[in-house]
Amino acid sequence: MAMVGEITHTTTYRYAKPVTFGTHRAMFLPRRGASARLLSWSARTSLPSKIHWISDARSNTVTVVEFSGAGGELTFTFKVRGVYFGVKGIEAFPLEARADEVPVQYSPDEWIDLSGYLRPHADDADGSLAAWTKSFVAGDQDQTVDVLHRILTTFRDNFTYRSRETEPSPRWRPCEPDPALAGTMPG
């Protein structure tokens, strides 16, 4: 059954004194696909700006915002309205034999495409983030479909979104749970 929905996302930045802004780029639109269709979308800012959309090399729609003045506060509001048709079960998308088990055997071209996503983006000195991610492939449970189900179930059951009004502690690292947020990473 198809469902129509609308998402509004607003982010506000406040500055101690007025600042000028360079060109901003944002990606808030989902990629086009068979399971959903966008009916409308919009972006607006609290300061005078010119807004247009471009497509990048990976078919993402990028919102480009160019500001014409300075300000002490900047608010972005993005709205998306679409229809979601649901998705077929993973069984409807059979994997190649080389992807049946984790670790997946990538081709040289895939390594190039994935290289930016595979490198660590934060320190993990004590190995807690690595241990947590490896917990999804515990023991002989290395079937790709089962690993994906465990990851999605963990995210669905243990993580929630909560807006944050303050910055995290300067000592907070991305691989640690932010005490200001509801979602936590099992230790």
d(CA 30, CA 37): 9
Cα-Cα-Cα-Cα torsion 6, 12, 18, 23, nearest 10 degrees, comes to -50
Average pLDDT, the chain: 83
pLDDT at position 187 = 41
pLDDT band at 184 (very low <50, low <70, confident <90, very high): very low
- Could you report the per-residue pLDDT of 127-152, keeping only the tens digit for each? 888 888 888 887 777 888 888 888 88
d(CA 85, CA 32): 13
Number of H helices, E strands in the chain: 3, 6
Q: Sketch the domain layout of the chain as residue ranges.
A: 3-84, 92-187
The mean pLDDT of 28-51, rounded to a whole number, is: 88
> In the chain, where does DSSP find H-type helix?
108-118, 128-134, 144-158
> CA angle 96-37-78, nearest 5°?
115
pLDDT at position 183 = 47
User: pTM (2 decimals)?
Assistant: 0.52
- Could you report the per-residue pLDDT of 54-79, keeping only the tens digit for each? 988 878 889 999 999 899 999 999 99
d(CA 100, CA 112): 21
The single-letter DSSP state of residue 175 is T
pLDDT at position 182 = 46
**For 3-84, CATH number?**
2.60.40.2250
> In 79-173, where does DSSP find H-type helix?
108-118, 128-134, 144-158
